[in-house]
Structures are given as structure tokens and as C-alpha cells.
């Protein structure tokens, strides 16, 4: 009986650990976002972190990129692009080695 109880407790521990790891998988994606001024940066940093599932945000004004860490069980890349579109920014995922620069319209605050 003792062996059965110990085995059951160990199985529950392993299952719960696996479930926690699966739920909290965090991914990172970098987007090319055309920003013309500090107001554009502020608009992004004040809004995108409040999107569901976003864990961290890094905005590089000079490089015109935004790196987002997000929980896969809460959001996805398409939802993040839509969040940028709501703020009137075009966000394109940057693939490894991709380097594009285009000028877009400013947010109008400068």
C-alpha cells in the first residue's frame, strides 16, 4: 500500500510539472515597425504591454524594431500584428538576417 501511495504522489508531481511547463511557454518575435519620432515609441510602449499574453517589450527606435516576448497560450503573432494595426503601425515579422527599411507615415504627434 505504501509503494502504491508513493508511486501515485510521484506521478502527480511529474504530471503537474509537465502541465506547468506547457502552459507557460514564452516565445519571442521581432517586428519591423516604422517609427518616426519619440511619440511613436511612447505610443507603442504604453499600449502593447497591455495586450493579453505580452510578457516583455523592447523598442529599438534607431533599428526600427520591436521585440515582444509573449505567452503562446495567451496570444499569437497574428494578434500582436493586429495590436500594432490598432495603433496605426504596420508591423512585419523580421526573419533571421532580414534587413528592410521603409519610411511610413508618422503618428502625427511630431
Tell me the residue range of the domain where 34 lies.
24-93
Confidence of residue 105 (pLDDT cuts 50, 70, 90): very low
Render pLDDT for 2-20 as a digit per residue (tens, 0 to 9): 777 777 777 777 787 766 5
**Secondary element (H or E) of residue 56:** strand 54-60
pTM over the 0.85 mark = no
DSSP classification of residue 50: G
Closest CA to 73 of 25, 18, 17, 30: 25
Could you tell me if residue 13 is inside a domain? Answer: no
> Is 104 among the domain residues?
no
| Domain presence at residue 17 | no
Beta bridge partners of 57: 68
What tens digit of pLDDT does each residue of 47-101 get? Answer: 999 999 999 999 999 999 999 999 999 999 999 999 999 999 999 999 866 555 4
Total domains in the fold of the chain:
1
Residue 84 covered by a domain? yes
pLDDT for the residue numbered 11:
76
Residues 103 and 33: beta-carbon distance below 8 Å: no
Amino acid at each position: 500500500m505504501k509503494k502504491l501511495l508513493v508511486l501515485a504522489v510521484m506521478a502527480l508531481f511529474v504530471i503537474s510539472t509537465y502541465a506547468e511547463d506547457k502552459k507557460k511557454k514564452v516565445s519571442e518575435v521581432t517586428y519591423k515597425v516604422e517609427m518616426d519620432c519619440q511619440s511613436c515609441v511612447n505610443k507603442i510602449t504604453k499600449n502593447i504591454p497591455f495586450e493579453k499574453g505580452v510578457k516583455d517589450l523592447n523598442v529599438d527606435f534607431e533599428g526600427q524594431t520591436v521585440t515582444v516576448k509573449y505567452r503562446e497560450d495567451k496570444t499569437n503573432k497574428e494578434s500582436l500584428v493586429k495590436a500594432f494595426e490598432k495603433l496605426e503601425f504596420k508591423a512585419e515579422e523580421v526573419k533571421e538576417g532580414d534587413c528592410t527599411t521603409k519610411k511610413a507615415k508618422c503618428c502625427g504627434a511630431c
